[in-house]
Structure 1
């Protein structure tokens, strides 16, 4: 199926991806009926387990799964059932380059570059099931950010690969990879999270410095006009730049506030630091957070980009896919932290 532009793609209520390469034609793209999302289904257990994490927590690597083929730059991951992983990825064919001399044009400091947004489907053994290209050659929006799965759809953004630019919120049917465009945004956005209880969709801007919120109960502006967010909240934490987030729910322990689990990295003083956090969706205040120091076999912090979380056999399990192009899924479970964990200062 071919379209003349990204706008044409957006004007259709629900369309197939521009190009889908199916590598296992006898294998369904996703289990049917679709299972509940592991993160939201296990919300209270995940929050309770997270409360036991700390700097002394020992993380046990329970599984490594090599993902077949070129994964480009993985940005987000969702686990749908026990045997399907969906990965959002960016294939870059021309780099973004600075305008130079501190030049800013239309609010951004660099040229757009070029590339394609992908959704890649893998089975539980890492074998490629399908690879869907979501954008056409020459589309200015081609950066597929962090994703979320709500039990029916995968929520994602396709954005320009530069700050202070534009993005399009989409939802993807995992059974068919049909894409529905929701609204157009006058800023770079990623890390889409759908709060199924309120109808809110929250998205993170470049560097996760702000979270912007839209509500699906309101009619958006007709594409390609921009829809203004209902609120924009500044991220008060500079500890971690969140890359990929998952909606957890409204747990009782946090007074039924909506929360998400996020992972990310920060580079400061020539050091890269990884972290996981449970974040208040309304205020962006981290309600609990823990540093993560594990690295992939290629030397990348595991919290670089994709993350998913679930309770498996009664244990917290976190899924990381940190490396570009040649990607391995690292699956960790935490062992108990020291009951005498203290800060790092001296008396």
Structure 2
């Protein structure tokens, strides 16, 4: 019988991976479902977000809990976060909305300030996978290349396609 649970209020194990050897080492165990973890290089700490983005956590690099903050936004359920320069992170996720009895996913990308743990700005993402899911529903990777941004996403469960989007040159 498996003890793995994919639901809120479960537990998580956070690992670090050595990119040269691909060896995973356990960093900590958390009594909450942690959906995303960012290495905050500015403050040399880890920042995590719980299931549904209800709570932000900060830990030192040894996994000792330093701070817990309730997320004031509560609109976007962050699924993944990528560290950006200067103590910021790009967090992606979805909001499940209902209009005239029809439920749909609205994707989002938020610029998160890792010091205050608040969203500076959130933009909607309307692109959908072939299965009809928001492209920001599951893991994403955001990176800058000069004055363009690249978003790579794997939005669907079980069978999915790797999707890549690139912005026009930004001024």
Is 2:156 the counterpart of 1:334? no
**1:326 Cα offset (Å):** 2.3
| Residue pair 1:292, 1:303 contacting (<8 A) in 2 also | yes
Paired positions, count:
166
Stretches of structure 1 lacking an aligned partner (at least 5 in a row): 1-113, 115-137, 143-159, 221-226, 251-257, 338-347
| Cα distance in 2, alignment partners of residues 196 and 336 from structure 1 | 27
- DSSP-derived class of the 2:79 partner: strand
**1:262 Cα offset (Å):** 0.7
More helix by share: 1
CA RMSD between the two structures:
2.1
Of the three residues 126, 133, 142, the one matched with 1:300 is 133
Name the counterpart of 2:23: 178
The 1:188–1:324 alpha-carbon spacing in structure 2 relative to 1, beyond 3 Å, is: closer
Is 2:157 the counterpart of 1:324? yes
| Cα distance in 2, alignment partners of residues 290 and 171 from structure 1 | 30
| Residue pair 2:105, 2:133 contacting (<8 A) in 1 also | no
Stretches of structure 2 lacking an aligned partner (at least 5 in a row): none
| Cα distance in 1, alignment partners of residues 50 and 144 from structure 2 | 29
The 1:324–1:161 alpha-carbon spacing in structure 2 relative to 1, beyond 3 Å, is: closer
Is 2:47 the counterpart of 1:202? yes
Q: How does 1:265-280 map to 2 (within 5 A)?
A: 265-269=94-98, 270-280=103-113
Name the counterpart of 1:241: 77
Q: Which has the larger radius of gyration?
A: 1
User: Could you list the per-position Cα deviations for residues 8-28 of structure 1 after superposition, in whole angstroms to 9, with x for gaps in the alignment?
Assistant: xxxxxxxxxxxxxxxxxxxxx
Q: Which has the higher contact order (CA 8 A, sep 6+)?
A: 1
What is the TM-score with the length of structure 1 in the denominator? Answer: 0.45
| Cα distance in 2, alignment partners of residues 202 and 276 from structure 1 | 17
- DSSP-derived class of the 1:230 partner: strand
Deviates more, 1:168-177 or 1:240-249: 168-177
What is the TM-score with the length of structure 2 in the denominator? Answer: 0.86
| Cα distance in 2, alignment partners of residues 265 and 301 from structure 1 | 7
Q: How does 1:132-281 map to 2 (within 5 A)?
A: 138=2, 140=3, 142=4, 160-216=5-61, 229-250=65-86, 258-269=87-98, 270-281=103-114
The 1:296–1:176 alpha-carbon spacing in structure 2 relative to 1, beyond 3 Å, is: same
| Residue pair 1:234, 1:284 contacting (<8 A) in 2 also | no
